[in-house]
Amino acid sequence: MPIDVDKALGAPPATREIAWTGRDVLLYHLSLGAGADAASDPELSYTYERGLRVLPTFAMVAGQGVSSGDRPPTAMSMPGIDIDLRRILHAGQALTVHRPLPAAGRAVVSSRVANVWDKGKAAVIEMEQSATDGEGVPLWTTTMRIWARGEGGFGGEPGPETPWSEPDRAPDFVLDSPTTPGQALLYRLNGDLNPLHADPGFARAAGFDRPILHGLASYGVVAKAIVDGVLGGEVTGLTGLSVRFAGVLFPGETIRTSVWREGDRLVFRSTCPERGDAAVLTHATAETS
């Protein structure tokens, strides 16, 4: 069986050291669409090394980009888990940043499988990660949920329900973020080389008409939209972001994000207007300072 739940949950945390440079940050921002209208608005604070600001969601790719070399993936593999990439989808993501991220730096990252839920026809694998600087000061923590098709039915717990609802009023902001046809090809250079986002044959074998945009690309695009459209461009104002990936986005489509303010907390959802406002991100909240 590809998932050995006891082995996965009992494995000690995996620890590694990572490093990144300003070039990694610049590539990340460009892959989210920063500077797309370079003639009139080059967004230099995202796209030029002088005075470079770092979106907090860069934490999701730190240490995996151009500075780390080539590591083509073939499977999701860790103690107790070995699953073909064609059987997995990114189901949800949460991030908390504990301090502003530097444009270049190093960190110690600790990762573990926190839960494995049985959804019948699929399993949900919940992974936790924490990062600290060289002195042990926390930088960020993340929780990632992976949907593994065909891996359920092992008699485990289905996992907790996550109540969520949007306010019963018009949104305070509606933010449109166009993507480009080649955006997934650029975003994958941040480290996620899953062929699902590049190879049409692989995408069809996984059940999609064509390659899809990375869930974390949509996540970053929406984070940038919130920073720019709600927080006045202040990257340090966004301290947390939690979403459920409810549907795919194809490169070239638009992400429309409706945002409601509730104190220091934002409630939002993202849809694709080209496909009748099909859901892209739901159960979505952002923490601000």
Catalytic residues: 192, 197
Q: How, if at all, do strands 122-132 and 81-84 pair? A: unpaired
Backbone angles phi and psi of 132, in degrees to 5: -130, 160
Q: Measuring CA to CA, how many Å separate 1 from each of 82, 84, 119, 154?
A: 9, 13, 16, 10
CA distance 145 to 188: 19
